[in-house]
């Protein structure tokens, strides 16, 4: 009797953003939302996002990636997850420059020199600022700041966020101190606000200088996170669009620092580390059965 095929599954992180990579290339298998949730519930395999690698469709790419949040919902982008995938591939094949197909489009990655995983860059594509592209439930001519607030009308706790789509919908609230707000309470309310028909990632951003921002994020479908790469991209482009910073900034998140550049050609480049925690080859059906037990 032939042994069941083995699937490589890796637990990784990007600045503490918990990532699981499942390599399904060579298999027609597509994980369901329920299967993703079950993996997230296994000891040692909890994730903020799961990156499922499938056989490439577009020429010149290494894989088609489907991205799941830990509640089983789909994500259009995950910057920290893309850096983890780049490190996963570099460890597997030695390749340092690889492109992947995602719902966001084709994203190119580069694993730099130095300690393994210490410096990985991902081209995240161009931001979208149109209200229907974010999307919002109603038209806003200027998405640099929209009419949205939480708290008393005459003394709102948070108000007037910038909104943008960088693969996922993002709302950036500008505050004097990101640690002075209870994002664990306000994040879920704002994520599910009716203005966001597809929900949204909610961030608090504090301008430190023309080249530095401090950020905390409540991720759509995942909750509080130590780092969110797409939120860092969103904060950087929105700050530059408002004239608050230059187009190249350092973003300090609870898990560490990301470098974000909004290039002249419109694309965003994110640079930061990634780390492998553990990996194994599994019989995927048996692995999922254990997750269901």
DSSP code string of 45-79: ---SEEEEEE---STT-S-EEEEEETTS-EES--H
CATH number, domain with residue 249? 3.10.310.10
Q: Domain containing 230: what range? A: 149-266
Query: Which pLDDT score is estimated for 3?
Result: 59
Catalytic residue, chosen from 84, 228, 233, 238, is 228
**Domain check: are 179 and 222 in the same one?**
yes
Closest CA to 47 of 30, 72, 29, 24: 72
DSSP code at position 83: H
Asked if residue 136 is part of any domain, the answer here is no
Give the integer Cα–Cα distance in Å for 250 and 211: 6
CA gap 179, 288 in Å, rounded: 39
Residue 285 lies in a domain: yes
Residue reference for tokens 């296994």: 42
Residue 203 lies in a domain: yes
Is 78 labeled as catalytic in the residue annotation?
A: yes
Count structural domains, the chain: 2
- Is residue 213 domain-shared with residue 259, that is, in the same domain? yes
Annotated active-site residue in 78, 84, 233, 238: 78
Q: Is residue 75 part of a domain?
A: yes
Q: Along the 293 residues of the chain, how does pLDDT read in single tens digits?
A: 455 679 999 999 999 999 999 999 999 999 999 999 999 999 999 999 999 999 999 999 999 999 999 999 998 889 999 999 999 999 999 999 999 999 889 999 999 988 889 999 999 999 999 999 999 999 999 999 999 999 888 889 999 999 999 999 999 999 999 999 999 999 999 999 999 999 999 999 999 999 999 999 999 988 999 999 999 999 999 999 999 999 999 999 999 999 999 999 999 999 999 999 999 999 999 999 887 65
Residue 118 sits in the same domain as residue 182: no
Q: Are residues 197 and 120 in the same domain?
A: no
Q: What's the confidence (pLDDT) of residue 292?
A: 65
Q: Both 116 and 19 in a single domain?
A: yes
Asked if 84 is an active-site residue, the reply is: no
């Amino acid at each position: 009797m032939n042994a069941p095929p083995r699937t490589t599954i890796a637990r990784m992180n990007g600045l503490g953003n918990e990532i699981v990579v499942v390599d399904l290339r060579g298999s027609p298998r597509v994980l369901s939302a329920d299967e993703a949730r079950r993996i997230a519930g296994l000891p040692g395999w909890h994730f903020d996002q799961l990156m499922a690698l499938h056989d490439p469709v577009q020429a010149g790419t290494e894989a088609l990636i489907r991205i799941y949040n830990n509640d089983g919902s789909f994500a259009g982008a995950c910057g920290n997850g893309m850096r983890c995938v780049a490190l996963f591939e570099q460890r597997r094949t030695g390749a340092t420059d690889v492109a992947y197909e995602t719902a966001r489009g084709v994203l190119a990655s580069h694993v730099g020199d130095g300690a393994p995983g210490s410096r990985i860059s991902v081209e995240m594509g161009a931001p979208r600022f149109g209200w229907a592209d974010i999307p919002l439930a109603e038209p806003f001519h200027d998405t640099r700041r929209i009419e949205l607030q939480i708290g008393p009308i005459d003394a709102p706790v948070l108000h007037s966020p910038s909104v943008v789509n960088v693969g996922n919908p993002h709302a950036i609230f500008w505050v004097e101190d990101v640690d002075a707000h209870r994002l664990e309470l306000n994040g879920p309310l704002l994520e599910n606000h009716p203005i966001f028909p597809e929900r949204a990632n909610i961030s608090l951003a504090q301008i430190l200088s023309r080249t530095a921002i401090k950020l905390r994020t409540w991720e759509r479908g995942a909750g509080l996170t130590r780092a969110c790469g797409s939120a860092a991209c969103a904060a950087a482009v929105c700050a530059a669009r408002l004239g608050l910073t230059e187009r190249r900034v350092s973003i300090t998140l609870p898990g560490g620092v990301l470098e974000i550049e909004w290039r002249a050609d419109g694309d965003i480049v994110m640079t930061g580390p990634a780390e492998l925690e553990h990996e194994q080859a599994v019989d995927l059906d048996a692995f999922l059965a254990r997750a269901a037990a």
